[in-house]
Amino acid sequence: MGRALREVVYVDGARTPFGRAGPKGVFWRTRADDMAVKVVREVLRRNPQLPPERIGDVALAATAQVGDQGLTLGRDVALLAGLPQTVPGYAVDRMCAGALTAVTTVAGEIALGACDVALAGGVEHMGHHPMGDDVDFNPRFVAERLIDESAATMGATAENLHDRFPHLTREDADRYAVRSQQKAASAWENGIMRETIVPMSVFTDDGWRIAERDEFLRPDTTMEGLATLKTPFRAGGRVTAGNSAGLTDGATACILASEEAAAELGLEARMRLVSFAYAGVEPEVMGIGPIPATEKALAQAGLTLDDIGLIELNEPFAVQVLTWCDGLGVASEDERLNSYGGAIACGHPLAATGVRLLAQLAYGFRERPDVRYGLTGLCIGLGMGAAVVWENLHAE
Protein backbone atom coordinates (compact mmCIF):
# COMPACT_ATOMS: atom_id res chain seq x y z
CA MET A 1 0.00 0.00 0.00
CA GLY A 2 1.40 3.38 -0.97
CA ARG A 3 1.92 6.20 1.48
CA ALA A 4 2.52 9.92 1.17
CA LEU A 5 6.03 11.26 1.65
CA ARG A 6 6.59 13.91 4.30
CA GLU A 7 8.37 17.22 3.82
CA VAL A 8 11.82 17.43 5.44
CA VAL A 9 13.10 20.63 7.04
CA TYR A 10 16.46 21.83 8.32
CA VAL A 11 16.21 23.17 11.86
CA ASP A 12 19.69 24.14 13.04
CA GLY A 13 23.37 23.36 12.53
CA ALA A 14 26.71 24.09 14.14
CA ARG A 15 30.38 23.42 13.61
CA THR A 16 33.63 23.60 15.49
CA PRO A 17 36.20 26.09 14.34
CA PHE A 18 38.27 24.44 11.64
CA GLY A 19 41.86 23.85 12.77
CA ARG A 20 45.12 23.29 10.96
CA ALA A 21 45.84 19.56 10.63
CA GLY A 22 49.05 18.36 12.28
CA PRO A 23 51.04 18.93 15.47
CA LYS A 24 50.79 22.72 15.18
CA GLY A 25 47.01 22.65 14.89
CA VAL A 26 44.66 23.51 17.72
CA PHE A 27 42.97 20.07 17.69
CA TRP A 28 46.15 17.96 17.61
CA ARG A 29 45.54 16.62 21.13
CA THR A 30 41.76 16.40 20.75
CA ARG A 31 39.92 13.22 19.72
CA ALA A 32 37.83 13.32 16.56
CA ASP A 33 34.78 11.79 18.22
CA ASP A 34 34.97 14.36 21.03
CA MET A 35 34.83 17.11 18.41
CA ALA A 36 31.65 15.52 17.04
CA VAL A 37 30.22 15.20 20.55
CA LYS A 38 30.73 18.94 21.04
CA VAL A 39 28.66 19.95 18.01
CA VAL A 40 25.91 17.40 18.73
CA ARG A 41 25.56 18.75 22.25
CA GLU A 42 25.57 22.31 20.91
CA VAL A 43 22.67 21.84 18.48
CA LEU A 44 20.69 20.17 21.27
CA ARG A 45 21.56 22.97 23.70
CA ARG A 46 20.30 25.53 21.19
CA ASN A 47 17.03 23.65 20.80
CA PRO A 48 16.00 22.62 24.33
CA GLN A 49 12.42 21.99 23.23
CA LEU A 50 13.63 18.86 21.41
CA PRO A 51 13.37 15.85 23.76
CA PRO A 52 16.47 13.71 23.08
CA GLU A 53 14.35 10.57 23.04
CA ARG A 54 12.51 11.92 19.98
CA ILE A 55 15.68 11.68 17.90
CA GLY A 56 15.13 8.72 15.62
CA ASP A 57 18.63 8.32 14.18
CA VAL A 58 22.12 9.82 14.15
CA ALA A 59 24.16 9.69 10.92
CA LEU A 60 27.75 10.93 11.10
CA ALA A 61 30.29 10.80 8.31
CA ALA A 62 34.04 10.38 8.17
CA THR A 63 36.28 9.66 5.22
CA ALA A 64 38.89 7.86 7.31
CA GLN A 65 36.78 5.54 9.42
CA VAL A 66 39.60 4.37 11.66
CA GLY A 67 41.00 5.20 15.06
CA ASP A 68 39.23 7.97 16.94
CA GLN A 69 36.71 8.40 14.11
CA GLY A 70 36.11 4.70 13.59
CA LEU A 71 33.52 2.39 15.12
CA THR A 72 29.95 3.10 14.05
CA LEU A 73 30.45 6.81 14.39
CA GLY A 74 26.83 7.93 14.75
CA ARG A 75 26.16 5.45 17.53
CA ASP A 76 29.52 6.11 19.18
CA VAL A 77 28.94 9.87 19.30
CA ALA A 78 25.27 9.54 20.32
CA LEU A 79 26.27 7.57 23.41
CA LEU A 80 29.19 9.87 24.24
CA ALA A 81 26.92 12.93 23.86
CA GLY A 82 24.52 11.52 26.42
CA LEU A 83 21.62 10.65 24.13
CA PRO A 84 19.33 7.88 25.39
CA GLN A 85 20.48 4.36 24.60
CA THR A 86 17.29 3.95 22.57
CA VAL A 87 18.65 6.38 19.93
CA PRO A 88 20.43 4.45 17.13
CA GLY A 89 23.19 5.72 14.88
CA TYR A 90 25.41 4.80 11.97
CA ALA A 91 28.43 5.93 9.93
CA VAL A 92 28.53 7.30 6.39
CA ASP A 93 31.35 7.62 3.87
CA ARG A 94 31.14 9.54 0.62
CA MET A 95 34.44 11.33 1.15
CA CYS A 96 33.97 15.11 0.81
CA ALA A 97 30.19 14.70 0.58
CA GLY A 98 30.01 12.64 3.76
CA ALA A 99 28.00 15.09 5.87
CA LEU A 100 25.82 16.03 2.92
CA THR A 101 25.12 12.34 2.30
CA ALA A 102 24.30 11.90 5.99
CA VAL A 103 21.78 14.73 5.57
CA THR A 104 20.10 13.31 2.48
CA THR A 105 20.10 9.79 3.94
CA VAL A 106 18.32 10.73 7.16
CA ALA A 107 16.04 12.95 5.08
CA GLY A 108 14.90 9.76 3.35
CA GLU A 109 14.20 8.16 6.73
CA ILE A 110 12.13 11.16 7.77
CA ALA A 111 10.30 11.44 4.45
CA LEU A 112 9.26 7.77 4.63
CA GLY A 113 8.16 8.02 8.25
CA ALA A 114 10.90 5.84 9.74
CA CYS A 115 11.61 8.66 12.20
CA ASP A 116 10.46 12.21 12.90
CA VAL A 117 13.73 13.88 13.88
CA ALA A 118 17.36 13.00 13.11
CA LEU A 119 20.86 14.33 13.54
CA ALA A 120 23.36 14.40 10.67
CA GLY A 121 26.90 15.66 10.28
CA GLY A 122 30.50 14.67 9.93
CA VAL A 123 33.98 14.86 11.38
CA GLU A 124 37.44 14.70 9.91
CA HIS A 125 40.66 14.83 11.90
CA MET A 126 43.12 15.09 9.04
CA GLY A 127 45.96 15.54 11.50
CA HIS A 128 45.34 12.12 13.04
CA HIS A 129 44.29 10.51 9.76
CA PRO A 130 45.95 12.02 6.65
CA MET A 131 44.09 11.59 3.38
CA GLY A 132 44.78 8.15 1.92
CA ASP A 133 46.48 6.87 5.07
CA ASP A 134 45.73 3.17 5.71
CA VAL A 135 44.04 2.92 2.30
CA ASP A 136 45.02 -0.02 0.09
CA PHE A 137 44.14 1.05 -3.45
CA ASN A 138 43.36 -1.92 -5.65
CA PRO A 139 46.17 -2.13 -8.24
CA ARG A 140 43.59 -2.91 -10.93
CA PHE A 141 42.55 0.75 -10.90
CA VAL A 142 45.78 1.74 -12.64
CA ALA A 143 46.91 -1.56 -14.13
CA GLU A 144 43.65 -1.97 -16.05
CA ARG A 145 43.39 1.77 -16.69
CA LEU A 146 40.07 2.01 -14.87
CA ILE A 147 41.15 5.44 -13.66
CA ASP A 148 44.08 7.74 -14.34
CA GLU A 149 46.76 7.53 -11.65
CA SER A 150 46.35 11.23 -10.89
CA ALA A 151 42.83 10.57 -9.57
CA ALA A 152 44.30 9.47 -6.24
CA THR A 153 45.81 12.91 -5.56
CA MET A 154 43.29 15.71 -5.19
CA GLY A 155 45.79 18.43 -6.06
CA ALA A 156 46.68 16.61 -9.25
CA THR A 157 43.01 16.49 -10.23
CA ALA A 158 42.88 20.26 -9.78
CA GLU A 159 45.85 20.65 -12.11
CA ASN A 160 43.96 18.42 -14.56
CA LEU A 161 41.07 20.88 -14.45
CA HIS A 162 43.40 23.66 -15.48
CA ASP A 163 44.51 21.46 -18.37
CA ARG A 164 40.93 20.70 -19.38
CA PHE A 165 39.91 24.37 -19.10
CA PRO A 166 43.08 26.27 -20.13
CA HIS A 167 41.31 29.62 -20.15
CA LEU A 168 41.01 29.30 -16.35
CA THR A 169 44.45 30.56 -15.37
CA ARG A 170 46.43 30.60 -12.15
CA GLU A 171 45.75 34.32 -11.94
CA ASP A 172 42.00 33.61 -12.12
CA ALA A 173 42.35 31.07 -9.32
CA ASP A 174 44.43 33.45 -7.19
CA ARG A 175 41.96 36.26 -7.75
CA TYR A 176 39.12 34.01 -6.59
CA ALA A 177 41.13 32.98 -3.52
CA VAL A 178 41.68 36.60 -2.52
CA ARG A 179 37.93 37.25 -2.71
CA SER A 180 37.20 34.17 -0.60
CA GLN A 181 39.56 35.37 2.12
CA GLN A 182 38.10 38.88 2.00
CA LYS A 183 34.52 37.63 2.27
CA ALA A 184 35.38 35.30 5.15
CA ALA A 185 37.14 38.11 6.99
CA SER A 186 34.07 40.30 6.59
CA ALA A 187 31.82 37.51 7.84
CA TRP A 188 33.92 37.15 10.99
CA GLU A 189 34.01 40.89 11.56
CA ASN A 190 30.22 41.09 11.25
CA GLY A 191 29.59 38.22 13.68
CA ILE A 192 28.14 35.90 11.08
CA MET A 193 30.50 33.01 11.77
CA ARG A 194 29.98 33.20 15.51
CA GLU A 195 26.37 32.14 14.98
CA THR A 196 27.37 28.88 13.32
CA ILE A 197 30.55 28.07 15.28
CA VAL A 198 30.74 26.64 18.79
CA PRO A 199 33.96 27.39 20.71
CA MET A 200 35.62 24.32 22.23
CA SER A 201 38.05 23.86 25.10
CA VAL A 202 41.10 21.93 23.90
CA PHE A 203 44.33 20.77 25.46
CA THR A 204 47.51 21.85 23.66
CA ASP A 205 51.25 21.78 24.27
CA ASP A 206 50.76 25.13 26.02
CA GLY A 207 47.94 23.90 28.24
CA TRP A 208 44.19 24.39 27.97
CA ARG A 209 42.86 27.01 25.57
CA ILE A 210 39.66 27.89 23.71
CA ALA A 211 39.47 27.03 20.02
CA GLU A 212 37.14 29.65 18.62
CA ARG A 213 38.46 30.77 15.22
CA ASP A 214 39.33 29.07 11.94
CA GLU A 215 43.10 28.72 11.66
CA PHE A 216 43.43 29.21 7.89
CA LEU A 217 41.99 32.73 7.80
CA ARG A 218 44.35 35.04 5.93
CA PRO A 219 42.53 38.39 5.55
CA ASP A 220 45.72 40.08 4.34
CA THR A 221 46.05 37.77 1.31
CA THR A 222 47.09 39.60 -1.85
CA MET A 223 47.59 38.68 -5.48
CA GLU A 224 51.26 39.62 -5.14
CA GLY A 225 51.73 37.26 -2.21
CA LEU A 226 49.93 34.39 -3.89
CA ALA A 227 52.05 34.77 -7.01
CA THR A 228 55.16 33.81 -5.02
CA LEU A 229 53.82 30.44 -3.82
CA LYS A 230 55.12 27.13 -5.12
CA THR A 231 53.05 24.65 -7.12
CA PRO A 232 53.51 21.38 -5.17
CA PHE A 233 51.52 19.10 -7.45
CA ARG A 234 53.32 19.92 -10.70
CA ALA A 235 56.42 21.85 -11.68
CA GLY A 236 55.24 25.04 -13.28
CA GLY A 237 51.65 24.23 -12.31
CA ARG A 238 48.84 26.49 -11.23
CA VAL A 239 47.55 24.99 -7.96
CA THR A 240 49.12 26.40 -4.78
CA ALA A 241 48.50 26.39 -1.06
CA GLY A 242 47.02 29.86 -1.48
CA ASN A 243 44.30 28.94 -3.98
CA SER A 244 43.41 25.66 -2.26
CA ALA A 245 41.79 24.66 1.01
CA GLY A 246 44.24 23.63 3.71
CA LEU A 247 44.36 20.25 5.44
CA THR A 248 41.90 20.68 8.27
CA ASP A 249 40.38 19.20 11.44
CA GLY A 250 36.73 19.89 12.27
CA ALA A 251 33.25 18.59 12.98
CA THR A 252 29.67 19.55 12.10
CA ALA A 253 26.15 18.50 13.09
CA CYS A 254 22.59 19.55 12.27
CA ILE A 255 19.00 18.75 13.15
CA LEU A 256 16.52 17.64 10.48
CA ALA A 257 12.83 16.94 11.08
CA SER A 258 9.56 16.36 9.37
CA GLU A 259 7.55 19.51 8.90
CA GLU A 260 4.88 18.14 11.23
CA ALA A 261 7.33 17.20 14.00
CA ALA A 262 9.03 20.59 13.84
CA ALA A 263 5.66 22.31 14.32
CA GLU A 264 4.65 19.93 17.11
CA LEU A 265 7.88 20.43 19.05
CA GLY A 266 8.17 24.16 18.45
CA LEU A 267 11.36 23.83 16.42
CA GLU A 268 12.13 26.61 13.96
CA ALA A 269 12.09 25.19 10.44
CA ARG A 270 14.59 27.28 8.48
CA MET A 271 14.87 25.46 5.15
CA ARG A 272 12.87 22.82 3.30
CA LEU A 273 14.69 20.18 1.30
CA VAL A 274 13.47 20.46 -2.29
CA SER A 275 15.68 18.05 -4.26
CA PHE A 276 19.13 16.50 -4.29
CA ALA A 277 21.36 14.65 -6.71
CA TYR A 278 24.68 12.86 -6.92
CA ALA A 279 26.58 12.35 -10.17
CA GLY A 280 29.64 10.48 -11.36
CA VAL A 281 32.35 11.90 -13.66
CA GLU A 282 35.88 10.98 -14.74
CA PRO A 283 37.84 10.46 -11.49
CA GLU A 284 40.88 12.40 -12.72
CA VAL A 285 38.73 15.55 -13.11
CA MET A 286 36.53 15.02 -10.07
CA GLY A 287 36.10 18.79 -9.72
CA ILE A 288 33.54 18.89 -12.53
CA GLY A 289 31.23 16.60 -10.55
CA PRO A 290 29.02 19.39 -9.13
CA ILE A 291 28.08 20.47 -12.67
CA PRO A 292 25.94 17.43 -13.60
CA ALA A 293 24.79 17.08 -9.99
CA THR A 294 23.50 20.67 -10.04
CA GLU A 295 21.79 20.11 -13.37
CA LYS A 296 20.08 16.96 -12.06
CA ALA A 297 18.95 18.57 -8.79
CA LEU A 298 17.55 21.62 -10.59
CA ALA A 299 15.72 19.43 -13.12
CA GLN A 300 14.13 17.41 -10.31
CA ALA A 301 12.92 20.64 -8.69
CA GLY A 302 11.68 22.14 -11.96
CA LEU A 303 13.98 25.12 -11.44
CA THR A 304 16.83 26.86 -13.23
CA LEU A 305 19.87 28.63 -11.84
CA ASP A 306 18.02 31.90 -12.36
CA ASP A 307 15.65 30.76 -9.58
CA ILE A 308 18.53 30.21 -7.16
CA GLY A 309 19.22 33.26 -5.00
CA LEU A 310 22.08 31.95 -2.82
CA ILE A 311 24.75 29.35 -3.53
CA GLU A 312 27.13 27.65 -1.09
CA LEU A 313 29.71 25.72 -3.09
CA ASN A 314 32.71 24.04 -1.52
CA GLU A 315 36.14 25.39 -2.39
CA PRO A 316 38.70 22.57 -2.22
CA PHE A 317 40.48 24.40 -5.04
CA ALA A 318 39.66 27.72 -6.64
CA VAL A 319 39.76 26.14 -10.09
CA GLN A 320 37.00 23.72 -9.06
CA VAL A 321 34.65 26.62 -8.33
CA LEU A 322 35.72 28.38 -11.51
CA THR A 323 35.00 25.22 -13.49
CA TRP A 324 31.50 24.98 -12.01
CA CYS A 325 30.89 28.62 -12.87
CA ASP A 326 32.21 28.11 -16.39
CA GLY A 327 30.12 24.99 -16.96
CA LEU A 328 26.88 26.54 -15.75
CA GLY A 329 27.30 30.07 -17.05
CA VAL A 330 27.72 31.78 -13.67
CA ALA A 331 30.19 34.63 -13.20
CA SER A 332 32.79 33.83 -10.55
CA GLU A 333 32.05 37.27 -9.04
CA ASP A 334 28.30 36.52 -8.83
CA GLU A 335 27.04 37.94 -5.53
CA ARG A 336 24.95 34.80 -4.96
CA LEU A 337 28.07 32.63 -4.67
CA ASN A 338 29.71 31.93 -1.30
CA SER A 339 28.68 35.19 0.31
CA TYR A 340 30.66 34.43 3.47
CA GLY A 341 33.78 32.99 1.88
CA GLY A 342 34.55 29.32 1.61
CA ALA A 343 36.98 26.49 2.27
CA ILE A 344 39.95 28.38 0.83
CA ALA A 345 39.59 30.67 3.85
CA CYS A 346 38.17 28.38 6.53
CA GLY A 347 39.47 24.94 5.53
CA HIS A 348 37.87 21.71 4.33
CA PRO A 349 37.71 18.87 6.86
CA LEU A 350 36.47 16.47 4.17
CA ALA A 351 33.39 14.63 5.47
CA ALA A 352 32.38 17.49 7.78
CA THR A 353 32.10 20.25 5.18
CA GLY A 354 28.58 19.61 3.86
CA VAL A 355 26.83 20.82 7.01
CA ARG A 356 29.00 23.95 7.09
CA LEU A 357 27.52 24.80 3.71
CA LEU A 358 23.99 24.24 5.05
CA ALA A 359 24.55 26.36 8.15
CA GLN A 360 25.85 29.27 6.06
CA LEU A 361 22.98 28.96 3.60
CA ALA A 362 20.45 28.95 6.45
CA TYR A 363 22.02 32.12 7.83
CA GLY A 364 21.90 33.71 4.38
CA PHE A 365 18.25 32.77 4.00
CA ARG A 366 17.38 34.50 7.26
CA GLU A 367 19.18 37.65 6.16
CA ARG A 368 17.67 37.53 2.66
CA PRO A 369 13.90 36.96 2.88
CA ASP A 370 13.72 38.07 -0.75
CA VAL A 371 15.46 34.81 -1.74
CA ARG A 372 13.27 31.74 -2.08
CA TYR A 373 15.70 29.02 -3.24
CA GLY A 374 19.32 28.19 -2.53
CA LEU A 375 21.79 25.50 -3.48
CA THR A 376 24.58 23.64 -1.69
CA GLY A 377 27.10 21.60 -3.66
CA LEU A 378 30.54 20.07 -3.69
CA CYS A 379 32.85 17.78 -5.63
CA ILE A 380 33.80 14.35 -4.35
CA GLY A 381 36.95 12.25 -4.69
CA LEU A 382 37.09 9.46 -7.27
CA GLY A 383 34.91 11.45 -9.63
CA MET A 384 31.56 12.49 -8.15
CA GLY A 385 29.54 15.57 -7.37
CA ALA A 386 26.64 16.47 -5.09
CA ALA A 387 24.00 19.20 -5.08
CA VAL A 388 21.00 19.95 -2.86
CA VAL A 389 18.28 22.52 -3.51
CA TRP A 390 16.67 24.18 -0.47
CA GLU A 391 13.67 26.47 -0.03
CA ASN A 392 13.90 29.46 2.29
CA LEU A 393 11.14 29.18 4.88
CA HIS A 394 11.78 32.83 5.82
CA ALA A 395 10.99 33.94 2.28
CA GLU A 396 8.40 36.68 1.95
The neighbour count for residue 228, using CB atoms within 10 Å, is 8
Q: Is 115 a catalytic residue?
A: no
Q: How far is CA 117 from CA 93, 255, 266, 376, 386, in A?
A: 21, 7, 13, 21, 23
Q: Please tell me which residue in 254, 346, 348, 394 is annotated as part of the active site.
A: 348
The neighbour count for residue 302, using CB atoms within 10 Å, is 9
Q: Please tell me which residue in 96, 254, 325, 346 is annotated as part of the active site.
A: 96
The neighbour count for residue 293, using CB atoms within 10 Å, is 28
C-alpha angle 330/331/335, rounded to 5°? Answer: 100
Q: Is 346 a catalytic residue?
A: no
Report yes or no: 115 and 57 within 8 Å, Cβ to Cβ: yes
Q: Is 379 a catalytic residue?
A: yes
Q: Please tell me which residue in 115, 254, 325, 379 is annotated as part of the active site.
A: 379
Report yes or no: 73 and 91 within 8 Å, Cβ to Cβ: yes
Closest CA to 334 of 347, 346, 345, 321: 321
Which residue type sits at 318?
A
DSSP bridge pairs for 163: none
Residues present in the chain in total: 396
C-alpha angle 215/367/296, rounded to 5°? Answer: 80
- Residue 133 CA, chain-centre distance (Å), reads 21
- Residue 200 CA, chain-centre distance (Å), reads 20
Cα gap 359→303, rounded to integer Å: 22
* Active-site residue list: 96, 348, 379
